């Protein structure tokens, strides 16, 4: 009986509750907060850099667009026939040949050098080709005018065999037309190439009495870019 009473009054074992399941250490909280702040700063820095780079790229694109429509825009070269001179032979019956010198110029209105290939010029009398000439390649510097000569060798027989020749002799004047074709390119910043094609039609008259050739004012030019 005494044994049973001692069992009933046996002290219970203490029930300890682990504090680690409810509370974290102060050092772990500080480390977690520090990592969070570093991550936030890194994200803000990345966003700032991305914004700056995007703004710079947009500004660069805007500048390129403005320059493309202003300074770097390829403009039409201006080709002119300055003078036409008979330097040899004649247009009368029995002459073997005649030589005409055409003084021409090309004005480059671009901000970069215009380089052109060989210039081909043909001369016509009543829509019949009677001669031609070729000028070597050249260049016109930025905002400059380059002059060149074209030597045209003419076959007088093609002139005198034309039915209109007798009528023109009576009027003391022979009307000619010239056709010039020039192909070139403008190289922008040594990177971008723009091809340019120029065509020029002019009329001239040879005065039989004075033996002078006058340049017509009705030159028509065509430019292909």
**Does residue 147 sit within a domain?**
yes
**Does residue 7 sit within a domain?**
no
Residues 189 and 83 in one domain: yes
Q: Check residue 45 and give its pLDDT.
A: 76
Residues 48 and 128 in one domain: no
Instruction: Select from 38, 68, 98 the last residue of a domain.
Output: 68
**Does residue 16 sit within a domain?**
no
**Does residue 9 sit within a domain?**
no
Beta carbons within 10 angstroms of residue 176's beta carbon: 23
Residues 64 and 85 in one domain: no
Name the nearest CA neighbour of 122 among 147, 158, 153.
153
Residues 99 and 173 in one domain: yes
Q: Are 143 and 108 in contact (CB under 8 A)?
A: yes
Instruction: Select from 49, 68, 87 the last residue of a domain.
Output: 68
Residues 96 and 32 in one domain: no
Instruction: Select from 68, 103, 128 the last residue of a domain.
Output: 68
Residues 123 and 60 in one domain: no
Residues 169 and 83 in one domain: yes
**Does residue 117 sit within a domain?**
yes
Domain carrying residue 49: 25-68
Count the alpha carbons within 13 Å of 202 in the hemisphere toward its beta carbon.
23
3-state per-residue secondary structure call for the chain? CHHHHHHHCCCCCCCCCCHHHCCCCHHHHHHHHHHHHHHHHHHHHHHHHHHHHHHHHHHHHHHHHHHHCCCCCCCCCEEEEEEEEEEEECCCCCCCCEEEEEEEEEECCCCCCEEECCEEEEEEECCEEEEEEEECCEEECCCCEEEEEEEEEECHHHHHCCCHHHHHHHCCEEEEEEEEEEEEEEEECCCEEEEEEEEEEEEEEEECCCCEEEECCCCEEEEEC
Q: Are 137 and 116 in contact (CB under 8 A)?
A: yes
Residues 191 and 96 in one domain: yes
Token pair 């870019």: residue: 225
**Does residue 10 sit within a domain?**
no
Q: Tell me the sheet residues that pair with 212.
A: 207
Q: Which two tokens stand for residue 190?
A: 């040594």
Q: From CA 148, how far away is CA 114, in angstroms rounded?
A: 14
Q: From CA 98, how far away is CA 177, in angstroms rounded?
A: 16
Residues 44 and 91 in one domain: no
**CATH number, domain with residue 178:** 2.60.40.10
Q: Check residue 162 and give its pLDDT.
A: 86
Q: Is the dihedral of CA 100, 220, 216, 128 positive or negative?
A: positive
Residues 141 and 102 in one domain: yes
**Does residue 157 sit within a domain?**
yes
In tens digits, the chain (225 residues) has pLDDT values of 445 555 555 555 555 444 444 444 556 666 666 666 677 777 777 878 888 888 888 888 877 776 666 656 777 888 888 888 888 887 776 677 889 898 999 999 888 889 999 999 999 998 899 999 999 999 999 889 999 999 999 888 888 888 888 888 888 888 889 999 999 988 877 777 888 888 889 888 888 788 788 765 567 776 766
Residues 60 and 139 in one domain: no
Q: Check residue 46 and give its pLDDT.
A: 81
Name the nearest CA neighbour of 182 among 128, 129, 223, 144.
223
How many domains does one find in the chain?
2
Residues 61 and 116 in one domain: no
**Does residue 4 sit within a domain?**
no
């Amino acid at each position: 009986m005494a044994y049973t009473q001692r069992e009933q009054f046996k002290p219970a074992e203490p029930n300890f509750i682990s504090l680690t399941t409810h509370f974290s250490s102060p050092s772990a909280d500080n480390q977690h907060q520090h990592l969070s702040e570093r991550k936030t700063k890194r994200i803000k820095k990345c966003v700032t850099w991305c914004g700056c780079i995007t703004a710079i790229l947009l500004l660069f694109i805007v500048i390129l667009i403005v320059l493309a429509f202003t300074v770097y825009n390829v403009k039409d070269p201006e080709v002119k026939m300055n003078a036409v001179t008979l330097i040899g032979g004649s247009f009368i019956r029995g002459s073997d040949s005649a030589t005409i010198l055409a003084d021409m110029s090309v004005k480059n209105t671009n901000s970069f050098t215009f380089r052109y290939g060989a210039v081909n010029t043909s001369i016509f009398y009543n829509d019949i080709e009677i001669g031609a000439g070729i000028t070597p390649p050249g260049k016109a510097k930025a905002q400059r005018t380059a002059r060149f000569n074209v030597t045209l060798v003419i076959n007088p027989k093609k002139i005198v065999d034309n039915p209109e020749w007798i009528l023109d002799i009576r009027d003391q004047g022979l009307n000619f037309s010239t056709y010039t074709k020039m192909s070139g390119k403008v190289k922008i910043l040594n990177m971008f190439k723009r091809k340019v094609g120029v065509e020029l039609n002019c009329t001239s008259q040879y005065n039989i009495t004075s033996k002078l050739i006058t340049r017509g004012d009705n030159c028509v030019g065509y430019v292909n870019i």
